């Protein structure tokens, strides 16, 4: 229920951003300033995009960016955001001027380096502030009429993607929590299985039949493990591909126990966790009839012990 509430809050927040607007009186001069403002930003960005280019930066881009910024009216900047004028003039525009001055004047290497460093700091401050506050910017209707719908569609798209990601993350979290709980039950029952001697030795001696005898809830745990595996899309795909039913699933678990796979590592009871991830499950299924099954099981134990991920190469 709490996850559903989080989804609703995110959707409400994003839709509020998309459809909220404040009335501002705009003039034709504001529309022209918006055009100059946009062009200046584009030329400025084009200059910095050349940073890693083999062609090098074209200083002409900066001249055009400065020319366009000089045509932007302060009254327009004040309407877009109450603090935009200060940051646009004192950081954005100033960084352009300092950069051009350092390029055009015959400065020493130290002076030029210092100038470019100052320009870069101003530019970083501008980018940080503008990115932080751009959602509060207001623009002339004629300038945003065509982009407004696109922006709103984009926000809705982002909202849907966010919900999808959270849904996947939540499912993964639920699986991890339930698997951890089952792993703990398997491990605790295993350690308490023998009435005399070492419990793990008892398991090794009696194998799967031993587990069934010493744990009354063995079938319940295995059934829950199987159901959890079926709910995982990737794991279920492997189960279906090899037509693994609950009885074969139990046999795979028993195979791990009988071949010394009983270990609790990194919060994983290896015989159980090996059946709960697509890559480890498929590896075990493909090699279950291998004459060196002991090496197969040992490889799975090492997989979790080394905190590996991804595909497991065949032996």
Residues 6+ apart with CB under 8 A from 263: 269, 270, 301, 305
For 198, phi then psi, to 5°, come to: -75, 130
Residues 6+ apart with CB under 8 A from 143: 31, 34, 35, 38
Predicted confidence at residue 71, as pLDDT, reads 94
Predicted confidence at residue 1, as pLDDT, reads 42
Residue by residue, pLDDT tens for the chain (315 residues) are 444 445 555 555 555 545 544 457 888 898 899 999 999 999 988 887 755 444 456 788 899 999 999 999 999 999 999 999 999 999 999 999 998 888 887 778 888 888 888 988 998 999 999 989 988 998 887 554 444 556 567 667 776 776 666 555 555 555 667 777 776 777 666 665 443 334 454 455 555 555 445 445 677 888 888 988 898 889 999 999 999 999 999 999 989 988 988 888 888 889 989 998 999 999 999 999 988 999 999 999 999 899 898 888 766
Residues 6+ apart with CB under 8 A from 153: none
Strand partners of residue 269: 264
In 262-288, which positions are buried (b, 16+ CB within 10 angstroms) versus exposed (e)?
bbbeeebbbbbbbbbbbbbbbbbbebe
On the CB side of 9, how many CA atoms lie within 13 Å of its CA?
A: 7
CA distance 206 to 211: 7
CA distance 75 to 28: 12
63: nearest Cα among 28, 26, 101, 22: 101
Contact 36, 74 (CB under 8 A): no
Query: What is the helix (H) or strand (E) element at residue 94, kind and residue range?
Result: helix 94-104
Contact 192, 199 (CB under 8 A): yes
Predicted confidence at residue 295, as pLDDT, reads 93
Instruction: Annotate 173-188 with DSSP letters as a single string.
Output: HHHHHHHHHHHHHHHH
Predicted confidence at residue 269, as pLDDT, reads 87
Strand partners of residue 157: none
CA distance 80 to 163: 31
Predicted confidence at residue 54, as pLDDT, reads 41
SS3 call for 25: coil
DSSP letter (8 states) at residue 82: T
Give the chain's largest Cα–Cα span: 92
The residue with tokens 């504001």 is 30
Contact 65, 43 (CB under 8 A): yes
The residue with tokens 């299985």 is 193
Predicted confidence at residue 141, as pLDDT, reads 72
* CA 300 to chain CA mean position, Å: 27
Predicted confidence at residue 23, as pLDDT, reads 57
* CA 164 to chain CA mean position, Å: 12
Instruction: Annotate 249-280 with DSSP letters as a single string.
Output: HHHHHHHHHHTT---EETTEEHHHHTTSSHHH
């Amino acid at each position: 229920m709490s996850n559903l509430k989080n989804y609703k809050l995110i959707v409400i927040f994003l839709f509020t951003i998309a459809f909220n607007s404040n009335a501002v009186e705009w003039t034709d001069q504001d529309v022209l300033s918006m055009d100059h403002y946009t062009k200046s930003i584009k030329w400025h960005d084009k200059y910095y995009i050349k940073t890693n280019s083999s062609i090098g930066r074209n200083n002409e881009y900066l001249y055009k960016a400065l020319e366009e910024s000089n045509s932007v009216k302060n009254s327009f900047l004040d309407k877009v955001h109450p603090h935009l004028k200060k940051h646009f003039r004192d950081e954005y525009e100033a960084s352009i001027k300092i950069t051009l001055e350092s390029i055009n004047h015959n400065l020493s290497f130290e002076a030029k380096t210092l100038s470019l460093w100052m320009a870069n700091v101003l530019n970083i401050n501008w980018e940080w502030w503008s990115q932080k506050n751009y959602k509060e910017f207001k623009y002339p209707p004629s300038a945003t009429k065509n982009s407004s719908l696109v922006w709103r569609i984009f926000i809705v798209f982002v909202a849907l993607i966010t919900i999808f990601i959270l849904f996947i993350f939540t499912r993964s979290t639920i699986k991890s929590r339930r698997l951890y709980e089952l792993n703990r039950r398997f491990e605790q029952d295993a350690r308490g299985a023998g009435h005399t001697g070492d419990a793990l030795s008892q398991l090794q001696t009696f194998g799967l039949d031993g587990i069934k005898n010493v744990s009354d809830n063995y079938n319940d745990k295995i059934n829950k493990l199987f159901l959890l595996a079926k709910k995982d899309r990737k794991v279920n795909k492997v189960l279906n591909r090899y037509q693994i039913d609950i009885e074969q699933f139990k046999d795979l678990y028993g195979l791990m126990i009988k071949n010394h796979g009983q270990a609790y590592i990194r919060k994983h009871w290896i015989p159980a966790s090996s059946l709960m991830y697509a890559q480890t499950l498929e590896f075990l299924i493909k090699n279950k009839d291998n004459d060196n099954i002991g090496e197969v099981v040992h490889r799975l134990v090492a997989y979790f012990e080394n905190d590996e991920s991804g595909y497991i190469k065949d032996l």
